[in-house]
Amino acid sequence: MTAASLRRAARESVSGLPREFWWLWTSTLVNRLGAFVATFMALYLTIDRGYSASYAGLVASLHGLGGVVSSIGAGVMADRFGRRPTMLVAQVSTAGSVALLGFVSGPVAIAAVAFLVGMASNASRPAVQAMMADIVRPEDRVRAFSLNYWAINLGFAVSSMAAGFVAEVSYRAGFLIEAGMTLACAIVVFARLPESRPAPTAKEGKDDVGLGTVLRDGRYMAVVGLSFLVALVFQQGSVGLPVAMGSAGFSPADYGMAVAVNGVLIVALQIPVTRFIEHRNPRTLLVLSSLLAGYGFGLTAFAGSVSVFALTVCVWTLAEIVNAPVQTGLVVRLSPVQGRGRYQGMYTLSWSVAALVAPLMSGAVIDRFGAEWLWAMCAVVGTAAALGYGLLMRRLPEERRPAAQVPVDAGREVSAA
C-alpha cells in the first residue's frame, strides 16, 4: 500500500464524524493515558503489600461488584437526567476514590475503597456509549466505536509501559496520576460536550422504556449473557495474567511490556481491520473473535518467557480488535432510542459481573490447581460463546429507530417532538 493510499484511508476513517464525537474521543484518550491502577493493582497487592493471590482476587472482585451496583443505576440516570451529568458525577467521583485508594493501608480499607472505585469508574460507561450512539449516524457507528476503542488502547499502550516503571518507583504516584487524568476528563466533558439525550416523541412519552422492558427482551438478554462469557475471558489479561506471571518470577516491568503489546497492536491494526470488517456479517465476526479470545488465552499455558507471553497476547488482541466495535454496534442495533442508557447499562453489567467473577475464579484456580487450568478454562468458555453467537444470530434484527427523526449537527439524531 502506497503512502498516498494510506493517507486516503486515514482521511476516510475519520471524516464525517461530528465535532462532539471528537471531544468525547479526546476525553476517552486522556482517561486511558492515566489508567495505571488497573494495570498494576494485582501486583501492588501481592508484591508490594504481600497479600495472597486470593486476596488480590477478592479486591478485584469487590471492584467488579461496585461496577455491578452502578451499571444499571448509571444507565437509568443517563436516560432520565442526561448523558453529560452522569459522566460528570462519575468522573469526579472516580478521581476522588482512586486518589484515596493510594493512601489506605489496611486490608478492609483497601477492599472498601476498591469497591467505591469500581462503582464510580463504571458509572460513566453507559452514558458514554449512549452519547456516542446519539451523536453518530447509524452507518458510521461501527467506525466511531472502533475509533473510540482505538483511543482507549492508544492510552492503554502508553500507560501499560509506563505503569510497570512507575510501580517500581512509587505505586502511590500511579494512583495520584490516574486521579488527576480522570479529573481532566471531567473538565473536558464540562467544557466541551453538550447534552445529547434524544427528546421523546409524544407517542413514546417521557420515560417509556423501563428496566422491565430490557429484562423481557429475550434476544437482547441472550446477547448480554454471551457478552459476559467473552468478558470473562478478556478479564484475564488484567487479572489472571499478572498474577500468573508474578507467581512464575516475572517482574512488574515484564508484565507491563508483555501486556503493552495488546495496546500497541490495537493502535496499529484497529482502524485498518475495522475498514475490512465494517460491512461483513456480524455473526461470523463474533464467532471468530470468541474462538480467538478463548484459544489465545489457552495458549498462555505454554508460555515460559516474556516473548512467548507477548505472542499469546497477539492472538487474543486480534479477538478484541474484531469483537469490540461489532459487539457494541449490535447492542445499539437492538436498543430502542429512548432506552439507550438502560440497554447500555445492562450491557455494561455483563462486563461488571465478569469483573466480579473473573478475579475470584482466577485467584482460586491459580492457588489450588495452577495457572494451566485457568488457561484451559478460557479455551472452553471462548468455545461456548462462539457456539452461542452462531445459534443466536442466524437472522439479524433491524436497528430500532423512532418514528420520526431530524438530523442535527452533522450526524446527531434526536426524536422529533
pLDDT value of residue 415: 29
2 SS3 class: coil
Residue 4 lies in a domain: no
Assess contact for 9 and 273: CB atoms under 8 A. no
Return left, alpha or beta for 251; rule: phi > 0 is left, psi -120 to 50 is alpha, else beta: beta
Confidence of residue 44 (pLDDT cuts 50, 70, 90): confident
Instruction: Reply yes or no on whether the pLDDT at 60 is more than 50.
Output: yes
Residue 229 lies in a domain: yes
Spatial neighbors of 155 by CB under 8 A, at least 6 apart, are 28, 29, 30, 31, 32, 33, 34, 35, 263
Confidence of residue 319 (pLDDT cuts 50, 70, 90): very high
Residue 411 lies in a domain: no
Confidence of residue 417 (pLDDT cuts 50, 70, 90): very low
Confidence of residue 170 (pLDDT cuts 50, 70, 90): confident
Residue 334 lies in a domain: yes
Residue 76 lies in a domain: yes
pLDDT value of residue 351: 84
* Percent of residues, the chain, with pLDDT higher than 70: 88
> Average of pLDDT values for 304-324?
90
> Average of pLDDT values for 155-159?
76
2-27 tens-digit pLDDT: 555 556 655 666 777 888 899 989 88
Q: Is 406 exposed, middle or buried (0-12, 13-18, 19+ CB in 10 A)?
A: exposed
45 SS3 class: helix
Confidence of residue 354 (pLDDT cuts 50, 70, 90): confident
Cell numbers that stand for 27 in this block: 476525553
pLDDT value of residue 153: 76
> Average of pLDDT values for 283-303?
92
Spatial neighbors of 365 by CB under 8 A, at least 6 apart, are 371, 373, 374, 377
Q: How far is residue 279 from each of residues 276, 285, 305, 324, 409, measured CA to CA in Å? A: 8, 11, 38, 15, 25
CATH number at residue 367: 1.20.1250.20
Assess contact for 39 and 238: CB atoms under 8 A. yes
Residue 416 lies in a domain: no
Q: How far is residue 378 from each of residues 74, 175, 228, 263, 321, measured CA to CA in Å? A: 30, 30, 13, 21, 18
Confidence of residue 397 (pLDDT cuts 50, 70, 90): low
272 SS3 class: helix
pLDDT: which is higher, 336 or 387: 387
Q: Name the nearest CA neighbour of 355 among 67, 98, 42.
A: 67
pLDDT value of residue 95: 92
Out of 79-88, 229-238, 332-341, pick the least confident.
332-341
Residue 361 lies in a domain: yes
Predicted structure pTM score: 0.73
Total structural domains within the chain: 1
> Average of pLDDT values for 123-138?
87
Residue 9 lies in a domain: no
pLDDT value of residue 408: 33
Range of the domain at 290: 18-196+207-395
pLDDT value of residue 168: 76
